[in-house]
Amino acid sequence: MTDRPDLTTRLAATERIRLGCVLVALVLLVMASVAATAATAQSTESAASLPAEPAFVVDLETDGSAHVTLVTTFDLTTDSEREAFEALRANETAREQRTNRFAARMRAIANRAENDTGREMAIRNPDMTFSTENDTGIVGLSVTWDGLAAQEGDRLVLREPFASGFDIDRPFRIVGPDGYALGTATPTPTNQQQNSARWSATTQFEGFEAVFAPAVGGTATDADDGTSGAGAPGFGIGVAVVAVLAASALLVARRHQK
């Protein structure tokens, strides 16, 4: 009779150990899933490869559409800017409002350019991305702009909306599709590579034109020269200044942190 309580105790202890092992295994599985998700999110953010400075960058596709990105940066060594960057990244409502506002302003500019050129244009896929590089927080507001460049034979020709009433207070960069080379550009770029061109903040853009054509051998692709930063664009009186509005929206968060 004295063995039965001992046996019962041992069985209960064994059951508790078994349940404990199952719980540990479940916790490890959950942690692995979370880690994988976080790694995927980090990869998504890094994929944008945004410059670590205020920027306005146009990446052309072979069909004349473009990925247009406005970049705002935060100094993460400053408490107020670091807190603003993190607050914006964590606030889904604020992100949605700023993304929609940016897309609306870009649609207004695209509508005017469509009227000027007679070429159908559309703005789609608005997005906001976050990434960090060293002590800089990088926020990218972007859209896909269908019909931005004209297709003339095998060439891509970009004029409007940049040829009329476009001014900028920071560099402006255009990148051609993979396998294309920059043929001619007016005004003369401040820096030029085979597949891209960069204009400084002081450039006068009246009569702007950039022409890309398939490169001999179809291998033209520039490495990042570290000068991809471009800045706040303006498209004349009567049309919203995209960078001012977008940057102001982001700066609201900064002021609330002070």
pLDDT the model gives residue 220: 54
Question: Cα–Cα distance between 225 and 63 in angstroms, integer?
Answer: 25
Q: Answer yes or no: is pLDDT of 180 > 70.
A: yes
**What kind and span of H or E run contains 79?**
helix 79-90
Decide if 140 contacts 70 (C-beta within 8 A).
Answer: yes
Decide if 70 contacts 139 (C-beta within 8 A).
Answer: no
Instruction: Kindly give, in sequence order, each residue whose CB lies less than 8 Å from that of residue 114, ignoring residues fewer than 6 positions away.
Output: 120, 121, 147
pLDDT the model gives residue 36: 37
Q: Answer yes or no: is pLDDT of 193 > 60.
A: yes
Structure tokens given for 255: 């002021």
pLDDT the model gives residue 24: 40
Q: Which parts of 134-175 are beta strand (E)?
A: 136-146, 150-152, 155-158, 166-168, 172-175
> Could you report the per-residue pLDDT of 218-236, keeping only the tens digit for each?
555 554 444 333 333 444 4
Q: Answer yes or no: is pLDDT of 40 > 70.
A: no
Question: Among 23-27, 61-65, 71-75, where is mean pLDDT lowest?
Answer: 23-27
Average pLDDT of 183-196?
93
> Residue 237 burial by CB count (10 A; 0-12/13-18/19+): exposed, middle or buried?
exposed
Higher pLDDT residue, 10 or 65? 65
Q: Answer yes or no: is pLDDT of 213 > 80.
A: yes
> Which residue do the tokens 């509005």 mark?
245
Higher pLDDT residue, 103 or 22? 103
Question: Among 3-17, 61-75, 90-104, 127-141, where is mean pLDDT lowest?
Answer: 3-17
